[in-house]
Amino acid sequence: MANRPENRTERDYLVSEKGLRQLFVLGGLGSVLIIVIILVLLSAFPKPVYKPLDRSQLEQTVAEAAAKLEAYNVAEDGSVTVPIDRAITLVAERGVSAPFSLAQTTPEAPGGAAITELPDGESLFVSSCAACHQATGQGIPGAFPPLANNVPALFQAEGGRDYLANVLLYGLQGEIEVAGQSYNGVMPAWQQLADEEIAAILNYTLGGWDNAELLPANFADYSAEDIAAKRGQDLNAQQVYEIRQALEIPSLDELPLAVQAAPGEAKPAAFDWQTLGANAYANCAACHQGNGQGIPGAFPPLAGNLAKIYNLEGGREYLINVLLYGLQGQINASGQSYNSVMPAWPQLGEENIAAVLNYGLTSWDNETLLNDFSPILPEGVAAQNGQGLSPQQVLEQRQSLGLE
């Protein structure tokens, strides 16, 4: 049975008249209230208005953020610098964002000194020298001597290489004769230029205006280090003049032109091996050492040794083969014996092999021991590639040169 209240006295209406009235009043009040709330909300809602950025506040935020970073310095202009040891730690912690930019850093030269990248010699020449010597290098007859067809001759006089660096560092004053014309002016000193700028300018004058055709093939560019070595001599322009007077300057037709092409024959494109060779030597320095001295008993020296081998008939070809095919067995170099393996370097490519050999042949005094040097060209390496020699066969070739 359902449990329902039994004794109900009056009927319960679901909605009474009184309730309806109250509901109506409350409903009216409620809608008024909702409209008011909507109006209030609408007026209070933030409108998108542009407010000028508060710079001082921004700066404060940046300063606070910077203060939280460790070991950074914020300069007055807002730039941030990081001390080098901190940078190294950061690189170790976080890695480098652009790893290839590392390869662009200055390569190590043999001996551990960094090879300085040179600035653009041509634009430096135009800004510092062209006013007098002219952009064409022709100078102005009677006033400013030509550098075209003159610098290569100076360079090839014994001591000429140093003389040119000295002219730039200390100036020149006194009567000189160039191409049948005499000059008696003053060449200002250029001490204020950086070493690498002077080197770049000299290299430009050596290679510009067809001067390169008058240079020997084993010509090596000036480096910033070459110029640095000439500073501090305290010479004056007259003393440099005395140095010039003592030079035996060859005439143009006496210049030994190793790369001179026969008339009518296309000139071989210049093979720019200097930088290539210095960089490729990084592969060799671990064993043969940066100074080419090797390690007695373990790695034979290249200093002195390369020139001696090169001077032998067939020596040039042998050297190329060592790089292409390696070398293994008992050898004697500079009075010391070695019995080890020289790895083959075909992966360097023909250009780098030629360049690294030229580099070695013109470094560590080898250049002074060479009888008659013309740089090894990539074509020369290519000509010996593909013989499939073994390191032992290269050893036999070494023995056939008359070397122990």
Identify whether the C-beta of residue 172 lies closer than 8 Å to the C-beta of residue 162.
no
What do you get for the CA distance between the two ends of the chain, in Å?
127
Identify whether the C-beta of residue 300 lies closer than 8 Å to the C-beta of residue 288.
yes
**Out of 109, 148, 164, 354, which residue is the one contacting ligand HEC (CB under 6 A)?**
164
Binding map of ligand HEC across residues 188-217, x = CB under 6 A, - = no contact: x-x----------x---x------------
C-alpha pair distances (Å), 197 with each of 190, 214, 252, 317 = 10, 23, 28, 38
Identify whether the C-beta of residue 375 lies closer than 8 Å to the C-beta of residue 217.
yes
Residue 3: CB atoms within 10 Å: 4
Q: Is 324 in the site for ligand HEC (CB under 6 A)?
A: no
Phi, psi of 256 (to 5 degrees): -75, 105
Q: What's the min distance (Å) between Cβ of 126 and ligand HEC? A: 10
Candidate ranges 57-65, 217-225, 257-265, 279-287; the one touching ligand HEC (CB under 6 A): 279-287
**Out of 155, 209, 222, 345, which residue is the one contacting ligand HEC (CB under 6 A)?**
345
DSSP code for 172: E
Q: How far apart are CA 132 and CA 138, in angstroms?
A: 10
Candidate ranges 8-16, 149-157, 220-228, 376-384; the one touching ligand HEC (CB under 6 A): 149-157
Q: Is 133 in the site for ligand HEC (CB under 6 A)?
A: yes
Q: Which one, 22 or 339, has the nearer CB to ligand HEC?
A: 339
Candidate ranges 48-56, 217-225, 251-259, 333-341; the one touching ligand HEC (CB under 6 A): 333-341
Q: How far apart are CA 254 and CA 251, in angstroms?
A: 5
**Out of 22, 81, 339, 387, which residue is the one contacting ligand HEC (CB under 6 A)?**
339
Cβ neighbours for 336, distance < 8 A, ≥ 6 positions apart: 296, 297, 300
Q: Is 128 in the site for ligand HEC (CB under 6 A)?
A: yes
Q: Tell me which residue of 345, 333, 373 sits closest to 282, measured CA to CA.
A: 345
- For the segment 169-188, give every residue that binds ligand HEC (CB under 6 A): 172-174, 176, 178, 183-188
Q: Is 238 in the site for ligand HEC (CB under 6 A)?
A: no
Identify whether the C-beta of residue 256 lies closer than 8 Å to the C-beta of residue 216.
yes
Q: Is 307 in the site for ligand HEC (CB under 6 A)?
A: no
DSSP code for 114: B
Q: What's the min distance (Å) between Cβ of 129 and ligand HEC? A: 3
Q: Please calculate the CA angle 218-223-226 and round it to the nearest 5 degrees.
A: 95
**Out of 121, 137, 145, 292, which residue is the one contacting ligand HEC (CB under 6 A)?**
145
Query: Which uninterrupted H or E stretch holds 74?
Result: strand 73-74
Q: What's the min distance (Å) between Cβ of 245 and ligand HEC? A: 10
**Out of 110, 144, 170, 211, which residue is the one contacting ligand HEC (CB under 6 A)?**
144
Q: How far apart are CA 47 and CA 357, in angstroms?
A: 76
Q: How far apart are CA 128 and CA 146, in angstroms?
A: 15
Q: What's the min distance (Å) between Cβ of 113 and ligand HEC? A: 19
Structure tokens of 302?
Answer: 């290249």
Candidate ranges 81-89, 222-230, 254-262, 297-305; the one touching ligand HEC (CB under 6 A): 297-305
Structure tokens of 192?
Answer: 């204020």
Identify whether the C-beta of residue 211 lies closer than 8 Å to the C-beta of residue 148.
yes
- For the segment 351-370, give every residue that binds ligand HEC (CB under 6 A): 356, 360
Q: Is 129 in the site for ligand HEC (CB under 6 A)?
A: yes
**Out of 82, 113, 258, 287, which residue is the one contacting ligand HEC (CB under 6 A)?**
287
Q: If DSSP codes are grouped into helix, strand and coil, which group holds residue 382? A: helix
Candidate ranges 3-11, 50-58, 264-272, 302-310; the one touching ligand HEC (CB under 6 A): 302-310
Q: Is 338 in the site for ligand HEC (CB under 6 A)?
A: yes
Q: What's the min distance (Å) between Cβ of 321 and ligand HEC? A: 9
Candidate ranges 27-35, 43-51, 113-121, 331-339; the one touching ligand HEC (CB under 6 A): 331-339
Q: Tell me which residue of 257, 269, 265 sits closest to 378, measured CA to CA.
A: 269
Q: Is 72 in the site for ligand HEC (CB under 6 A)?
A: no
DSSP code for 292: S
Exposed, middle or buried by CB within 10 Å (0-12, 13-18, 19+), for 379?
exposed
Please report, as ranges, the residues that interact with ligand HEC according to CB under 6 A.
128-129, 131-133, 144-145, 147, 150-151, 154, 164, 167-168, 172-174, 176, 178, 183-188, 190, 201, 205, 244, 283-284, 286-288, 299-300, 302, 305, 309, 319, 322-323, 327-329, 331, 333, 338-343, 345, 356, 360, 398
